[in-house]
Amino acid sequence: MSAAAEYACGRCGSALTPGALFCGVCGSPIALQPGMEADARALRRRDRQRVTLAPPPPVFPSFPDPAQAVAIWGEPGAPAPAVQPEPVAPQPVAPPAPPAPAAPAQANQAPSATAPPAAPPTTPAAPAKPPTQAAPPAPPTPPPAPAVKPPAPAVKSPAPAPAPPSQTHRLVLRFDTGDRVDVVGRGVIGRNPAAPTDENLAHLVPISDSGRTVSKSHLDFGVEDGRLWVMDRGSTNGTAVVDPHGGERTLEPGAKTPVEAGSTVRFGDRSFTVESE
């Protein structure tokens, strides 16, 4: 490796003086390389020796020609020639300006007199405004239209209650004992039927039953909407209805059950048939 490559700035690449701490081009600090530390110590040692040495004697100019020395320094012991001041050129003085001519006096100057006071400025009168034309009279306001009353809402008359269906037939209970009852209201059937105190009955139908299969108050019957209904009163042997097609059903105690004409009602060992005339 050459000496220039060893002592070069690592930032700008400029050559460095051995022992330099900063680059002379970019001013970057220089880290001492392995070979530069010894050179730096040698330079510091040399600088210390230079300080301890005596300064060199002053050097005076030598004049080989004595005439030249006399021309410069003069004869030995002769007084120094007087220095003549350089002549100063006189500055030109500007002539004074002539006085300005006086204004000519007026030939016919009137005697001074007190001038009358100036009249105050007269403000011009504002121009008269042209007469304002009266606006044409507004047309008369038409009378307000009479308020139209909204029509009164139509009062809906209640729909007439549906008329009860006219009973064009009679319901007849024909018992297996040969007895017949034309139904006109509510009734009770049993071995010894009794009318409750809070009920108005139209029929009390006693049935003879030696086997005591019929309860004293076995069942109730009545008419609603032209149809017969029956209700078991919690009898011992119960109540059943056989429709015209042969279907049989047992009644629930306390529940009204509609019965159509042609059906047979069985209670105990007794029965009756519903007929319509």
Which pLDDT score is estimated for 26? 79
Which pLDDT score is estimated for 80? 58
CA distance 40 to 22: 13
Which pLDDT score is estimated for 81? 61
Which pLDDT score is estimated for 22? 72
pTM assigned to the model? 0.41
Q: Are strands 203-206 and 187-190 parallel, antiparallel or unpaired?
A: parallel
- Do residues 215 and 237 make contact, with C-beta atoms less than 8 angstroms apart? yes
Average pLDDT by stretches of 10, the chain with 277 residues: 56 73 74 60 69 59 60 62 66 69 53 54 61 68 70 60 57 93 93 81 91 93 92 94 93 94 94 93
Q: In which residue ranges of the chain is CATH 2.60.200.20 found?
A: 171-276
CB-CB neighbours of 174 under 10 Å: 15
Radius of gyration of the chain, Cα coordinates, nearest whole angstrom: 80
The beta strand positions in the chain, using DSSP E, are: 171-175, 180-182, 187-190, 203-206, 219-224, 227-232, 239-242, 248-250, 257-259, 264-267, 270-276
Q: What is the DSSP letter of 202?
A: S
Which pLDDT score is estimated for 264? 96
Which pLDDT score is estimated for 2? 45
Q: Are strands 248-250 and 187-190 parallel, antiparallel or unpaired?
A: unpaired
CB-CB neighbours of 145 under 10 Å: 6
Which pLDDT score is estimated for 126? 61
**The domain made up of 171-276 is a member of CATH 2.60.200.20:** yes
